[in-house]
Each structure stands twice: as structure tokens, then as C-alpha cells.
Amino acid sequence: MGNEQIMQSIQVGGTLPEIVLPATSGKTFNSTQLKDKYTILYFYPKNHSPGCTIEAQDFSANFELFTQKNCQIFGISRDEVHKHEIFKQEQSLPFELISDTEQLLCKSLGVIEEKEMFGKTIMSLTRSTFLFNPDGELIKQWRKVDVRNHIHDVMKVLENPKLMQKVAN
């Protein structure tokens, strides 16, 4: 499928189409390689903004707990890779940030919405988090996230024994 325009966002139980995007540390993100681990894709509006910084710091501070649950984390925004590199370095983030300037992942998960700002209608990225199981299936989504306590909400789902059974097998 490649990097084509995605028309409809996936739902719980669905999988991502193949999307290949640049990431920090000279890496490339490929959505079809999200296997064998739980995967968190968290979308945030912009590097260096207060809420986005808090969210990144929270995921970073809890990174080892997520790793112990066989879970990898990726942060995604429409910022360019070189801006992600600066943000990642300044915040000492232990996970990669994905640059979605063409909004391919954003559209596949339906996180771009109309928003009114200063009397103008803009297309804005809505802070959202998606959890995929080791088979690449979407199992939980959080939309219009409030960064306070969000990490704990995500961790509660990962600590659910019914979800963890697939990892043990």
C-alpha cells in the first residue's frame, strides 16, 4: 500500500496499513513491523509546547515500566525530524519520535480535526494515544487526552492480565 492517502481511520481490532516515515536517531518507522511487542503510538500537537513536553516527560519517566511490560513507545507529531531530534535531545527521551509531515499516520488513526483558533478554522492534531497488541491490532485508544494521569491510565490497561496472555505464549 505504501504512503498513500488514507481515507478512513482504523478502529479497535484493526491494523495499520503500511506506512513508512522518518524517525529520530536516523531510524525509519514502518507500521508493518509493529509485531512481537505492545506498541504505544502517542500523538501530540507540537514539540516544545507545555502539554507536549509534560506528556513526553511522563512517558520518558515511566519508560522502564513500559519496557518491563514488553511495550515500545513512539511519539508522533507533524514536526520535521530535525525539530524532533532537538526535542528528543533536550528532553533526554529514550524512545523515538516519528515525523508525520504528510499526516499519513495521523489520518489513518483519525487524529486530525477541525478546530477554531483566533476566529479561523484550522486542521489541528488532537492529542491521542493508541495501544497495539503484539499482533499489530489496535486494542485501546484514548482521544482528546488530558496529560494529567494519562500515563497511569495507559499502564492500567497494560497491567490487565487478559491483555498480557498473548505475550506469555
Distance of CA 71 to the CA centre of its chain: 12
> Which run of H or E residues covers position 166?
helix 161-168
- Residue 63 CA to residue 60 CA, distance in Å, equals 5
pLDDT computed for residue 168 by the predictor: 38
Give pLDDT < 50 ranges for the chain: 1-7, 165-169
Specify the CATH class of 20-26+37-168 in words.
alpha beta
Domain boundaries, the chain: 20-26+37-168
Per annotation, catalytic residue among 10, 23, 34, 52? 52
Q: Is 52 a catalytic residue?
A: yes
**What is the per-residue pLDDT for 119?**
82
Residue 4 is predicted with a pLDDT of 40
CB 125 within 8 A of CB 106: yes
Q: Are 124 and 26 in contact (CB under 8 A)?
A: no
> Which three cell numbers mark 82?
530535525
Query: At residue 88, what is the residue type?
Result: K
CA distance 71 to 157: 12
- For position 1, what pLDDT does the model report? 38
Three-state secondary structure call for residue 117: strand
